[in-house]
Chains A and B, each alone.
Chain A
């Protein structure tokens, strides 16, 4: 990247706004995913019987089934939330930044 472009970008507060917003958001999402996954797998490591309980009396389906499928669905929903927010919010600022240096490129 040319020095002039870099200087111009650095002096643009929108750049720092983008970085702060997106980093905060993506790290939050990553940590949520880690917590959910490790809560699931550590439950299994410490107390497997918790997930082995039947959903209700006379049923063979255990609590673990909806929880497990739930983790899969949850992972997909998280990626959907991220993509949606990035498309709507982050891409707008990114485009502004691209436009601001269009002439120098």
Chain B
């Protein structure tokens, strides 16, 4: 009885002691989160603030007279593009920023699709199949993870120059596809799958391609999702390589286009610049909230024996 009462008292005291620091924890965490999220908040705040209120002191801490004028302004400033339509004399005229959007989405989606297919094929072979050279090749891939991308920058540029691919999408996409992290990630994952299903299917006379598509791929969906998500984020945000390859504004990606406007005479129109930055950021924000679970999972898969 006494012992029980004592333990009760001790535990409730501990609970009170735990509640007080909890408030401090919330306050601290919220403060750090506000600082961390502030640039993103300031981006949208400025983007929605009328241009006349952007350059004044004190600044509007919340968008009091919210307007989309900055967005129409950036769309106007980026100019228009003429797209020839087959069978029509009149080209289609659209705001160039829409084209940048389409270009970025095309490069990101195409590159991601290729990565998911090729990386899962290679990951499956390295994880489950024994063949001469597999160890050497896999070690080469691991070694390549250590090499910073800047080492290949100049040779790749000289290569696409020789191939006549400067200022083309293949010039951006092809060398951009050289990234081995997905192979590594998928190999790690596929290794953990049991081999029985595969072997049973082989005995039943399934072709090797069918085993890959009908057995391996369905079991690998979580890891494929992680690969796809990280790859899409990387290609959507990619900057240095497209900046080097692309020269014609109509071919720019959003990141390159933004940097192009930033260095132009309009670069100091901050409301407009923030609207442009918001346009590039919004798809990634939606993307993050849609696939948050996979982002968190992917980090852990990547870190295991990273």
B is bound to A: no
List residues of B whose CB falls within 8 A of some A CB. none
